Chains A and B, each alone.
Chain A
Amino acid sequence: MPAETLARRPAPLRRILHGGGIWPAVPALVFLFVFLLLPMVTLLAFGFLTIERGRIQPDSFTVAHLLHALQDDLVWRLMWRSFWVAVVSSVLCLLLAYPVAYLFAETKGIWRTLILVAVISPLLTSALVRAYAWIVILGGRRGMLNQALLSLGLIEEPLRILNTDWAVLIGMTQIHLPFMVLPLLAVLAERDRRLEEASLNLGASRTGTFFRVTVPMSVPAIFAGLALVFAVSYTNFIVPQLLGGGAYSTLAVQVYEQTVVVLDWTRGAVLATILLSTCFAFVLAIVALGNRLARWNEVAKP
């Protein structure tokens, strides 16, 4: 289109035709609205309505279902368990991921590629398969771990790990580890090493340099990883179901059971609302804390 023709058009239309504004994002926004936002809002709305035999009852809007759930000690107990498991697995992921990411940043060539493949390859298998693998490793007398410990004479009775908090933590940590490693890889590999050299030249030890220079530089990645791992752990229902056993329930497990097993969509939606809103609040808090701790890292704009 000739430039003078475009120039005659009103400004908003000109911006669209030039590919500016939000125009390029419209297909993605429409997709997200139709297939993510709308179903989610519909589901959450069920928590404020009365549903009988799959039909929404007229004039049944109420917050009573939500208030009832918030007064239920079982809901609080399950929320606390979801929170606790998510916090511990996030911290364990950080402790395990940092050395891997650091090693990646310090290596070159084929070793770097191998580490990257090792980090990403678990993501190519489903979490379900990985959880089942842990059942094979941890399960009972015939589990690989107990077989090894028994044959070495280190234990006389098999350890009971499966169907406990430990099994859930082990599974969550292993399955979500790549979500922590990947942000750390990106930041540690691209960090400004001149700052570390300056620290060493000024007389700081290697350990001191690591904790006072390297770790603070990776704070944004640490908190990005913590937010990611926390969110996927807090809302995960496959791992608690498979590794926690039948007595182990979390908010996410309850949402599934109330919706699919009990067919109580109202309670399922109320619990989903609580799960989603608390997860959102916790993630916001993690991000806010991360921003606060990384403030020094920001370059003042002229």
Chain B
Amino acid sequence: MTTLLGRRSLGGLALAALATPQVARAQSRELVIVSFAGQLQEPHQWLARRMEARHPGLRIRLVPSEAQDIVAQIKAAQGHSPFDAMPNGEPPHLIAQREGYITRLDPAKVPNAANVVPEFMAKSGGFGVPASYSLVGIAWNTRVVRREPTSWEDLWHADYRGKVAIPRASSNLGLAVLAIIAKVFGGSEDNLAPAWERLAALRPVVGRSPTALLQLLEREEIGVAPIWNNDVAGAAARGLPIRFIQPAPGPVSLLSFMSEIANTRHPELVHEWMNEILSPEYQQRAANEPYFFGPTVRGVAVPDAAKPYTPSTPAEVARLQSVDWSKIAPVRGRILEQFDRTFS
């Protein structure tokens, strides 16, 4: 009897020990959210801490990664994603929609979606929420070139010969630059030929990624490059002699959507995360120094410090250039091939 009891006790203890991690997992939920790298992740970190405080036992893990890498991982996992939500620029947002990796938005579950600027909301295609927007303009290193560029055509100005870099067409930045150059020189999203012709004549240095472009500017290998406003803001805040201009006829604006990934284990928490992303507190924080994410919610003022990087007047907003990504995203492979045929 004693032996039996002893065995039962031991068995119970063993079962309890085996069950403990499962109980712990059930009590401590984990939300895995794709985020930005480096300093730009800080607004997400702030929001994660806020939600964790609200939900005892919840852990939010932010994974810095490129949207395209995440989409590739989800595709490889046949839709069984280890992530719950992700920010996507417009081109990967369209691809994720088409491939069925993100979930259609139910506005009733994200009440703050009603406060989003309607034009931004319309671009979501019914998937995710527009979390912020960023600008593609021109950065210049004041130690390498003396003259401030003012327009997209200035990339071909004689003063900058041999000192211009462009991004590779594999990134959203590269695609946006290609599209705006085509438009400036009489082409369109359907007709990129003018851009190929002009870029071939420019004989630029090519940065593999936005980060690589910024490093080229930092190391003074080049003087001028089209780049994201947020990246330039970060470099300027570190005291580097790099400035951002919004070139004529206007910088390109690209939205970033926060989307629920299909088959998430915690849809209610993801909806809360998306709702918080659209809260005035988060939007104001993300719009401020040193992040300068453009606010997408009505009533959020652009801070003074953000004015060199984010349009703050109706005239500046009117100058913003947009790209019809539905024409660019499906032919991204062909664009990249053409890029290699032209430059490689």
Contact = CB atoms under 8 A, between A and B. Distances in A.
Interface in A131-189: 135, 139-143, 158, 160, 162-163
Interface in A72-96: 74, 77-78, 81
Given A54-B78, A246-B206, A140 B344 contact: no
Given A53-B100, A141-B221, A262 B336 contact: yes
Please indicate which of the listed interface residues A78, A246, A262 has the most CB atoms of chain B within 10 Å of its own CB. A246
A227 B226 CA distance: 42
Nearest to B204: A247
Nearest to A141: B220
B219 A247 contact: no
Contact of A74 (B212, B216, B340): B340
A76 to B, nearest CB: 12
A263 B75 contact: yes
B146 interface: no
Given A143-B219, A262-B332, A241 B208 contact: yes
A272 to B, nearest CB: 14
B341 A74 contact: yes
A287 B162 CA distance: 44
B208 A260 contact: no
B220 to A, nearest CB: 4
Given A53-B99, A54-B79, A260 B219 contact: no
A245 interface: yes
A297 B198 CA distance: 60
Nearest to B99: A53
Contacts of A141: 219-221
B341 A246 contact: no
Interface string B308-336: 00000000000000000000000011001
Given A160-B221, A246-B168, A263-B75, A257 B344 contact: no
A53 B166 CA distance: 31
B280 interface: no
A248 interface: yes
A22 interface: no
Contact of A54 (B75, B206, B220): B75
A265 B166 CA distance: 27
Interface string B227-249: 00000000000000000000000
Contact-residue bracket for chain B: 35 or more
Interface string B290-304: 000000000000000
A265 to B, nearest CB: 8
A196 interface: no
12 contacts: A53-B98, A54-B75, A74-B337, A74-B341, A78-B344, A81-B344, A142-B219, A158-B221, A160-B221, A246-B343, A248-B206, A263-B71
Interface of B: 68-69, 71-72, 75, 78-79, 95, 98-100, 166-168, 170, 205-209, 212, 215-216, 218-221, 332-333, 336-337, 340-341, 343-344
Going nearest first, the 7 A-B pairs with the smallest beta carbon separation are A140-B221, A246-B206, A140-B219, A246-B168, A247-B206, A247-B343, A246-B208
